[in-house]
């Protein structure tokens, strides 16, 4: 993997926070989805009301840029954020209720069914991500083809909605990032963001600079949201960098004895508003991760649990159960933790090319083992100067959230992983 500058690292963090802005007209394949077996029956996000079927071959193709796997495709249409008794659906509902209470019922329109296949323009260019930015690489993003991706952030729909007349709205949805494997990372997660446009009369009547007014209201709004979620907690604002807002901020709270980053936000860059024909307006935007909040508030230890159909998990959560800060609220009670199975694999890295990266290794392991893999971690690395080769040793931890795994089952998975590492990543096993 290529090293990143501080600016690139901050921008990548920003993309994950989903505060970004922009989209051109949605391509034909961009849809609102519901799941139906191995295909999704969908309708266009804004314009076309007629149902369309998106099949596996619509997102997994022979295009040389395609890197979407079956493991990822199978997650499309789950809509965890739309399940009222699911932790993500509960947090989403609590946030929507806050905006109704603060601004008036339905003042902020909620969008939660926008299909995640978008153009690269939507995902990157109108977010003002530079053409050579590391986040555009196939190592970080799921490409359907050269011009189409699975969205990395829900902000991919903002420009279209602005052009369609939306001025105050919330967007929630599943987003997709090629990432490491551990208890807090999963290649499909859920983001929620808000966007608010100001008219010139608002800052004129307030007698304030437009940027100052937007920043002040934004901070007031989000401090109230933090209290709504976490109770009476200490808060602090940290200056940040995002390519799509200026000024930009991160909100941190002191919760359970440590500082926790809650969200990213800022005043929208004028270039984005100009693209939407709103050059005389101002706006703010924020973005947050639902899994991150739910794990903290419900004491959920492993991100894979959100995808579990085990009733021992699902029965612990009910619509309306939330209480600010989790005070006097039922938290997640772990059930029997099944034993892990550790497998190490050592190999020589390819001398040439970029076929091996840690993200690519994680994709190989996920495609074989799915949610049975708990962690993939580099545990040793050394260089053989005589051979001119570098050796890596990775530890793969297998563990089911629902049952004990057999030795034969794990051995079979590990052998397939080893085989795929050679054929797909070009490594030489040791």
- The pLDDT averaged over each successive group of 10 residues in the chain (430 residues) is 41 40 31 36 35 71 94 91 96 97 95 92 90 91 96 92 95 94 95 97 96 98 97 96 94 95 96 96 97 96 94 95 89 90 96 89 95 95 91 96 92 97 95
pLDDT at 352: 84
Q: H/E element holding 360?
A: helix 358-369
Burial (CB count within 10 angstroms: exposed 0-12, middle 13-18, buried 19+), residue 65: middle
Cis before residue 247, ω within 30 degrees of 0? yes
For residue 390, what are its two tokens? 């570098």
139, 360 contact by CB (below 8 A): yes
396, 414 contact by CB (below 8 A): yes
Please report, to the nearest 10 degrees, the dihedral formed by the alpha carbons of residues 187, 190, 192, 193 taken in order.
20
Helix (H, G, I), strand (E, B) or coil at 58: helix
Contact partners, residue 199, CB within 8 Å, separation at least 6? 281
266, 173 contact by CB (below 8 A): no
pLDDT at 54: 61
What DSSP state is assigned to residue 104? -
For residue 44, what are its two tokens? 């266009």
- Residue 151's nearest CA partner among 86, 72, 61, 256 is 72
Contact partners, residue 238, CB within 8 Å, separation at least 6? 249, 250, 251, 252
pLDDT at 126: 86
- Residue 284's nearest CA partner among 219, 220, 203, 214 is 214
Compute CA distances 408 → 55, 153, 372, 412, 415, whole Å: 34, 39, 14, 6, 11
pLDDT at 328: 87
């Amino acid at each position: 993997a290529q090293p990143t500058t501080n600016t690139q690292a901050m921008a990548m963090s920003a993309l994950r926070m989903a505060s970004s802005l922009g989209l051109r007209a949605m391509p034909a394949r961009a849809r609102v989805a519901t799941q139906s077996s191995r295909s999704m029956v969908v309708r266009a996000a804004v314009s076309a009301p007629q149902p369309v079927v998106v099949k596996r071959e619509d997102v997994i193709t022979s295009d040389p840029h395609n890197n979407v796997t079956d493991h990822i495709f199978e997650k499309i249409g789950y809509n965890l954020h739309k399940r009222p008794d699911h932790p993500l659906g509960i947090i989403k509902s609590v946030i929507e209720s806050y905006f109704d209470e603060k601004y008036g019922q339905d003042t902020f329109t909620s969008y939660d069914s926008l299909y995640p296949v978008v153009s690269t323009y939507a995902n990157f260019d109108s977010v003002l991500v530079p053409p050579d930015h590391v986040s555009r690489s196939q190592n970080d993003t799921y490409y359907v083809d050269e011009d189409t991706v699975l969205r990395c952030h829900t902000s991919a729909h903002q420009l279209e909605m602005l052009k369609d007349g939306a001025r105050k709205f919330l967007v929630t949805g599943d987003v997709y990032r090629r990432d490491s494997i551990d208890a807090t990372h999963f290649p499909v997660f859920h983001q929620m963001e808000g966007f608010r446009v100001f008219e010139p009369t608002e800052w004129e009547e307030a007698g304030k600079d437009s940027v100052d007014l937007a920043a002040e209201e934004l901070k007031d709004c989000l401090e109230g949201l933090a209290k709504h979620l976490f109770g009476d907690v200490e808060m602090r604002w940290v200056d940040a960098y995002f390519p799509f807002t200026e000024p930009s901020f991160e909100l941190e709270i002191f919760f359970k004895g440590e500082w926790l980053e809650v969200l990213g936000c800022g005043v929208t860059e004028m270039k984005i508003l100009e693209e939407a024909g709103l050059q005389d307006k101002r706006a703010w935007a924020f973005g947050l991760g639902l899994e991150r909040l739910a794990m903290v508030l419900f004491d959920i230890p492993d991100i894979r649990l959100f995808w579990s159909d085990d009733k021992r998990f699902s029965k612990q959560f009910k619509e309306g159960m939330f209480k600010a800060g989790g005070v006097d609220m039922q938290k997640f009670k772990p059930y029997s933790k099944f034993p892990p199975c550790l497998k190490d694999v050592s190999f020589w890295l390819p001398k040439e090319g970029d076929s091996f990266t840690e993200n690519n290794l994680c994709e190989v392991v996920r495609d074989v083992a799915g949610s049975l893999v708990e962690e993939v971690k580099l545990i040793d690395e050394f260089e053989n100067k005589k051979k001119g080769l570098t050796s890596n040793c990775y530890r793969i931890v297998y563990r089911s959230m629902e049952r004990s795994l057999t030795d034969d089952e794990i051995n079979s998975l590990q052998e397939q992983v080893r085989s795929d590492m050679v054929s797909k990543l070009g490594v030489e096993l040791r």
